[in-house]
Amino acid sequence: MDSKKIRTIVVVAVFAIMAIGLIAGIQFGTLSGFGWDTFSAICPIGAFATMLATRTLLPRGVISLIIMIALILIVGRAFCSWVCPVPVMQRIGNFFKRKSVKKAEDDARAKELRDIATYELSCGKKCATCGGCKQEHPKLDSRHAILGGALASTLIFGFPVFCLVCPIGLSFATIILVWRLFGAGDITWSVILVPALLIFELVFFRKWCGRICPIGAFQNLFGRFARPFRPQIDDKKCIETTAGKTCSKCAIVCDADINLRHPAFGEHTLDDCTRCRACVDVCPTKAISMPFIAKKGASGAPVMQVADPLSGVKEGK
């Protein structure tokens, strides 16, 4: 079983257990705040925002932040691929897309990678790692601005504003509202507004995780220091460095828009790696691994070879 199926099972299982707990009245919370009795943790954004709103250092909030930061320093943004329900809900939404729309998106992605290959061919330089053409990624992006806005609005209005639109919170709120509707006949406008807002975000903010999510921004701030389980390329096995063939499979499957072989051309760097293992599964020569400690002889640095996305999509299937 590949990692994508395992991830889906884990995400659905976690969501289902917490949803059943809400319905059954078992008090272990949701992903916004979970635990049992005195052993609990709060979403880092929620914890930080609550302390800002109350202008008080809450012991449970501080402990939650310390725990979350410690986990991020080990596994980076693994929460985004192994626990968060948003990517799974977005994939479900893709089933309802017209084939023409899906094809247009796939073609646009393939063209983007073709343009990268064309640029590399026309560059004229012959540096082994393309050091002269390396593009620096900004350390802060739109997500960090939204994170700052979420915290600033909390100070202004006196409550965690982002929690009202967080898709994770909205998904659990939808479960509660639907259960109350059919179980107790509790009819309110929230039964329509909350699911509608969730669907709106999933449909119209397709880049929520990479460009909007302040939770992802918070993880990125500390995830850049996380070294365990980062994907590594064994240059002795990689098709592009051993056989001179094109591939780019790892770039095509990456939901975080990281170009592992050519990092300068990805939308994000390895700081945003969610440890989803999609690149490990798709590599036809098993050149990619995710060791706890980086192996000698493996490289995460770009070796600028031509990468034709179309030839890489069909090989090794």
User: In whole angstroms, what is the distance from residue 231 CA to residue 216 CA?
Assistant: 19
pLDDT by residue (tens digit) across 174-197? 998 888 888 777 788 888 999 899
From first to last of its 317 residues, the chain has per-residue pLDDT tens of 788 899 999 999 999 998 888 888 777 778 887 766 666 677 888 888 888 888 888 888 888 889 899 999 999 999 999 999 999 988 887 766 666 666 676 677 666 665 664 555 455 444 444 433 455 566 778 899 999 999 999 988 888 888 888 999 999 999 988 888 887 777 888 889 998 999 898 888 888 888 899 999 999 999 989 999 999 988 888 887 776 666 778 888 888 888 887 777 778 888 899 999 999 999 999 999 999 887 654 555 433 333 333 333 333 33
User: In whole angstroms, what is the distance from residue 70 CA to residue 76 CA?
Assistant: 10
Question: Phi, psi at residue 135, to the nearest 5°?
Answer: -100, 130
How are beta strands 232-234 and 39-42 bridged, if at all?
unpaired
174 CB-near residues (< 8 Å, 6+ apart): 194, 195, 198
User: In whole angstroms, what is the distance from residue 12 CA to residue 170 CA?
Assistant: 16
The angle, 0 to 180 degrees and rounded to 10, between the axes of the packed helices 167-184 and 3-24 is 50
User: In whole angstroms, what is the distance from residue 182 CA to residue 143 CA?
Assistant: 37
Q: Are 69 and 222 in contact (CB under 8 A)?
A: yes
Smallest CA-to-CA distance from 208 within 266, 270, 166 is with: 166
Query: pTM score, two decimals?
Result: 0.78
The secondary structure element, H or E, covering residue 72 is helix 59-75
Query: CA distances (Å), 254 to each of 34, 38, 50, 141, 286, in order?
Result: 29, 38, 34, 19, 16
Q: Where are the domains of the chain?
A: 3-75+141-221, 99-139+226-314
Q: Are 209 and 83 in contact (CB under 8 A)?
A: no
pLDDT at residue 301, rounded to an integer: 43
